[in-house]
Amino acid sequence: MKTIKTVKSMQKAMQTERRKGHRIGFVPTMGALHEGHSSLVRKARKLSDIVVVSIFVNPAQFGPSEDLANYPRTLRADKKLLRNLDVEYLFTPGNDEMYPDGFQTWIEFEEITRKLEGKFRPGHFRGVATIVAKLFNAITPDIAVFGQKDAQQAVIIKRMVQDLNMPVKISIAPTVREKSGLAISSRNRYFNAEQLDRASCIYRGLRSGRDLIRSGETDVGKIIKAVRKPIEETKGTITEYVSINDALTLEKLDRIDGKVLISLAVRLDGVRLIDNIAAAPGKSKD
């Protein structure tokens, strides 16, 4: 695995790979890698000849009260994991490389970023979209793999690629979960075993909502109440939001009609966790 730190060197390496006829797959990350990231790399491997992973803790997507300084940084362990997955290139730019002096160009969206996570984290998706666009320009991938766990992010990146005619295909990999159903996340490392057990209430709530939709319930209020119940009955939880939206447009719904996304954000003992699950009437397959 070759580690590259500058955009120019990355672009040059990818030009060489393209001349060899190689299809380039890309997985953007902020490090602190876990099995969820490994699943993205494995999917990229199936879809491409060369796999590039980036590790960059992007300051532009953190709000002033968020945990940028404390975000886990485990580069040595991350490199070992990526070598075991036979990744060809690791891109690890510094802040000055991605945001040089005088930087003032940002990607903004309209309605799609003003709901769900965007409502609670103003400016977050401006930072996400801008850094993803910059990484696409550095790596010029044929395909980029993102996780369903960050469902709104996936929808927004697809929108950006379509609206700006970016020549990259976006592939979405399923959420990887613990045996308890808890979505695997870098933030899970903040919990002990007892807290991880309590955090399983999040997936129980999502499944309750999904099962109601599958059984034919169309009243969004009733479904949200069912999602909240096991979470709010669990010690140490604060529910920031539970929302049911159209799976493609993220439009908020009053009644169920077709495939939807149930999304939520919950704080457990102060640690913020997000998760989601897709659902549609009459669909019984997990």
Find residue 50's DSSP bridge partners: 24
Task: Give residue 175's Cα distance to chain centre.
Answer: 9
Task: Extract the runs of DSSP E, i.e. beta strands, from 148-188.
Answer: 169-173
Asked if residue 200 lies in contact with residue 179, where contact means CB atoms within 8 angstroms, the answer is no
Q: Which two tokens stand for residue 89?
A: 């290139």
Return the closest-CA partner of residue 158 out of 147, 146, 170: 170
Catalytic residues: 37
CA 68 to chain centroid, in Å, comes to 17
Q: From the CB of residue 285, how many other CB atoms can be counted at a distance below 10 Å?
A: 4
Closest listed residue to residue 41, CA positions, set 58, 54, 60, 32:
54
User: Which tokens belong to 205?
Assistant: 């709530």
* Cross-strand bridge partners of residue 173: 147
